[in-house]
Structure 1
Amino acid sequence: MRDRGRTRRLMGLGARTGGALLKTRLGGQADWRALGEALFEGLSELKGPAMKLAQIMSQWDDLLPPDLAEELARLQRQAEPMPWPRIHEALVQQYGDIDHYFSEVEERPFASASMGQVHRATTHEGETVVLKVQYPGLADVLESDLIQVRRIMRLGRWFKVPQARLDALFEELAESLRGELDYHAEAAALARYRERYKDDPRLVIPEPLPALSGPHVLAMRYVEGAPLRELAEADGETRQGIAETLADWITQELFTYGELHADPHAGNFAADAQGRLVIYDLGAVIAVPDARIKAMMQLLDATLKHDPMGMDEALMQMGGRQGQGAPLALYRESAECIAPLFEPGEQDFSDVRVHRRLRELTPKVWAAMDRLQPPAETLLLSRALNGHYWNLVRLGARLNMHERTLPLLHRAY
């Protein structure tokens, strides 16, 4: 990965994005499909932080114009892999003589992402492993890329997102991206999670292989599975089982261990032949303090009670809504959209009526952003929860959220 030309290309993509947003603000009609295609082609080749930001945006299905969201979603599943010679270069840097460790390394990647790609390999003992290979030179260009990402994120001011919030979100994103380059930390997270869930028969977490890992390559035992994004055609029992396991796991992570998997794109999860949930990637795990969980549950409680003043108080206690003029009408409409998901009985996450109402609510939320001022430290947490929610939607989950939530509300008070 070379620095030459990257800044110029990222600035060009940022300018094109800004032009589309400006055209919309002036009452015009932007060509979101064309913009999405340009972003896909450019970011798929460049990789790195900007591609990661676009992948995060693509998970916000209810925030983006549909044509743009559809094109960005391709970055989750169709991003062009880095050519094999560059990956081979990284493997040689890690192992020296690759043939000493492996009888074969597949040149075609098993998966491609923004910060690295995964290749299957076979040891001389005949075991299949996967090698998560960091893109060569990524660490060298990370900081210069982040400067351009910060400039792109400043476009959020056009949506009345306060600059302080944008700066805080950027710092949280930057810290997360720097953390994803730390393969030693991810190996430790894999080991921690394997120990944590060793007695849960519904979860599978790959075993890290320290003897074959290093700063730029993370080796794991291969676990075969059907990616979550491919489960749309699976039988209902399999999808429902995976959905329940995913919901249970997220709940346990938050309320028992105070952590959350913060990179919820569908490629990080799969179902194995026994119908177990496979969690492939633990490069982004965030701590969630108990006080933050309690504040968020207070907001949810007020929402379910259709109490706009209580919602406003909870948001202010979380550190948001610093200004004057509580948007009480927006709170009421938000409660009307969200509360049905938590009514007694089983809720169908594939009910398009719920998503339509949320999509219709989104522009009103952005319009009130200068008054809402969501707490900066909860933005990535909210994004992660939103991504997990949409994974449940894609699975067509049927969950009794009232039954699941009631004990958690009692625990939070």
Structure 2
Amino acid sequence: MRERGRRRRLLGLGSRTGGALLKHRLGGQADWRALGEALFEGLSELKGPAMKLAQIMAQWDDLLPADLADELARLQRQAEPMPWGDIRRTLENCYGDPATYFASIEQRPFASASMGQVHRASTHDGETVVLKVQYPGLAEVLEDDLRQVHRLMRLGRWLRMPQVRLDALFEELAASLRGELDYRAEAEALARYRARYAQRDDLVIPEPLPALCGPGVLAMRHVSGTPLRELEGADDATRQRLGTALADWLTEELFTHGELHADPHAGNFAADAEGRLVIYDLGAVIEVPAERLKAMMRLLEATLAGDPMAMDEAVMTLGGRQGQGAPLALYRESADAVAPLFQPGPQDFGDVRVHRRLRELSPKVWAAMDRLQPPADTLLLSRTLNGHYWNLVRLGARLDMAARVRPLLAWASS
């Protein structure tokens, strides 16, 4: 009965979203703020895959109408917590009596997300730890939720994306969401990343505590920090240090280790008291094969050269645009929009002129999806990199991107 009620609510939210999109396509004025408020209230309560999809969409803040994007962004920082009684059941399933392991557990979470929420706790030794607690019953409703999300994603046809690409994108998303329920894998990822970056003094990654982990609970040492989204008013030196650390880490992660932290919303990053970049939540890590990176770098090289024919060839090498009719004008406009970030010397990611052009370009790119036809894994990778780009924008980072990409372009050509 509960699952049927959940399904009806998801379908109702989907119908309301579809109605707004149809009205917009027909030239009407959709009330994006009202739609966003309805989605926030409904998804905040329901949690799960649909809320996660909305959080992902909120990261495409250069695509969505501003009022809708603002409301969906609240899901990343203001989602309603699940009642303590429900969370306690998960803790009891893991520990029996939680008092055996903990002197106290804060009932009010300090972070609530789509698949779980985070509570501070104190051990009997006086150590502060954090417990990431999976929402009870989520594993049981996941597959039904995914079916409803699949129906919602078919609204992507308003972007003229082929159904086969939408289905492939859904399978990528579904695999990611199923993986996020595996807290054992996330604990292993935390340990792997801590070992991998142990020599870097500009990064902090929480330490998992295997002895306190169990079904539906991931325990970590507490690492306090100021969330990245609250750092826009921090002093310039701190923001530049964090921006450099983020860019260096992403480059090493991709081009040395072939992996990428795939949940880039600002709540997953912070600055500790020493100004180091704190990286939270490794529940979503994707592999990025070297050949995929090389193909993307060849596309960047053609873009920086302002060569639309070479851009089209690179898009086809990536697995997209297999039909006729290269959108050469769109390629030229894309090259013009991207070029300022790659001029010699430090470029300001806080320069509104740059990302205003990128915002103006994004709807044109999406309108051409039926011609570009990017493969699903490229869409997800692009979404992730786009999220990291906007984190650099929030920090107002100044980076010499020309110098950064020069050796990577040479590597891609080797």
AA of the residue aligned to 2:305: K
Quote the offset at 1:2 in angstroms.
4.8
CA RMSD of aligned residues (A): 0.9
Tell me the residue number matched to 1:225: 225
Tell me the residue number matched to 2:210: 210
Are the aligned partners of 1:2 and 1:137 in contact in 2 as well (CA < 8 Å)? no
Mapped to 1, the partners of 2:361 and 2:278 lie a distance apart of: 34
Mapped to 2, the partners of 1:365 and 1:381 lie a distance apart of: 16
Quote the offset at 1:297 in angstroms.
0.2
Tell me the residue number matched to 1:333: 333
Are the aligned partners of 2:93 and 2:215 in contact in 1 as well (CA < 8 Å)? no
Q: Deviations over 1:96-147 (max 9, x none)?
A: 0111000000001021100000000000000000000000000000000000
Mapped to 1, the partners of 2:266 and 2:85 lie a distance apart of: 28
Mapped to 1, the partners of 2:350 and 2:39 lie a distance apart of: 29
Q: Deviations over 1:360-413 (max 9, x none)?
A: 112221221111101222111111101000000111111111111111111111
Tell me the residue number matched to 1:284: 284
Tell me the residue number matched to 1:129: 129
Mapped to 2, the partners of 1:21 and 1:127 lie a distance apart of: 50
Structural mapping, 1:367-382, within 5 Å: 367-382=367-382
Tell me the residue number matched to 1:252: 252
Are the aligned partners of 2:202 and 2:276 in contact in 1 as well (CA < 8 Å)? yes
The change in CA–CA distance for 1:130 and 1:212 in structure 2 (over 3 A counts) is: same
Mapped to 2, the partners of 1:247 and 1:3 lie a distance apart of: 43
Mapped to 2, the partners of 1:254 and 1:291 lie a distance apart of: 12
Tell me the residue number matched to 2:263: 263
Q: Please state if 1:97 is matched with 2:93.
A: no
AA of the residue aligned to 1:314: A
The range that moved more, 401-410 or 356-365, is: 356-365
SS in 2 for 1:104: strand
**TM-score, normalisation: structure 1:** 0.99
Q: Please state if 1:84 is matched with 2:84.
A: yes
Tell me the residue number matched to 2:311: 311
Mapped to 2, the partners of 1:362 and 1:198 lie a distance apart of: 38
Q: Please state if 1:26 is matched with 2:26.
A: yes
Mapped to 2, the partners of 1:133 and 1:171 lie a distance apart of: 25
| Count of residues paired in the alignment | 413
Mapped to 2, the partners of 1:287 and 1:310 lie a distance apart of: 26
Mapped to 2, the partners of 1:4 and 1:147 lie a distance apart of: 13
Are the aligned partners of 2:55 and 2:73 in contact in 1 as well (CA < 8 Å)? yes
AA of the residue aligned to 2:75: L
Mapped to 2, the partners of 1:139 and 1:367 lie a distance apart of: 36
Q: Please state if 1:146 is matched with 2:136.
A: no
SS in 1 for 2:13: helix
Are the aligned partners of 2:49 and 2:149 in contact in 1 as well (CA < 8 Å)? yes
Tell me the residue number matched to 1:9: 9
Mapped to 2, the partners of 1:127 and 1:43 lie a distance apart of: 34
Are the aligned partners of 2:242 and 2:277 in contact in 1 as well (CA < 8 Å)? yes
AA of the residue aligned to 1:303: T
Quote the offset at 1:340 in angstroms.
1.0
SS in 2 for 1:356: helix
Alignment identity in percent? 78
Q: Please state if 1:187 is matched with 2:187.
A: yes
Tell me the residue number matched to 1:68: 68
AA of the residue aligned to 1:178: R
AA of the residue aligned to 1:341: L
Tell me the residue number matched to 2:234: 234
Q: Please state if 1:358 is matched with 2:347.
A: no
Quote the offset at 1:4 in angstroms.
4.2
SS in 2 for 1:3: helix
Mapped to 2, the partners of 1:27 and 1:280 lie a distance apart of: 42
Are the aligned partners of 2:244 and 2:399 in contact in 1 as well (CA < 8 Å)? yes
Are the aligned partners of 1:182 and 1:215 in contact in 2 as well (CA < 8 Å)? no
Quote the offset at 1:3 in angstroms.
2.2
Mapped to 2, the partners of 1:43 and 1:191 lie a distance apart of: 32
Mapped to 1, the partners of 2:377 and 2:4 lie a distance apart of: 34
Quote the offset at 1:215 in angstroms.
2.4
Are the aligned partners of 2:190 and 2:205 in contact in 1 as well (CA < 8 Å)? yes
Mapped to 1, the partners of 2:88 and 2:308 lie a distance apart of: 57
SS in 2 for 1:5: helix
Identify unmatched segments of 5+ residues in structure 2.
none
Quote the offset at 1:354 in angstroms.
1.2
Mapped to 1, the partners of 2:2 and 2:187 lie a distance apart of: 27
Q: Deviations over 1:130-173 (max 9, x none)?
A: 00000000000000000010001001111111111100110000
Q: Deviations over 1:262-282 (max 9, x none)?
A: 000111111000000111110
**TM-score, normalisation: structure 2:** 0.99
Mapped to 2, the partners of 1:182 and 1:219 lie a distance apart of: 13
Q: Deviations over 1:29-67 (max 9, x none)?
A: 100000000000000000000000000000111010001
Are the aligned partners of 2:150 and 2:170 in contact in 1 as well (CA < 8 Å)? yes
Runs of 4+ in 1 over 6 A off after TM superposition: none
SS in 2 for 1:294: helix
SS in 1 for 2:3: coil
Quote the offset at 1:246 in angstroms.
0.4
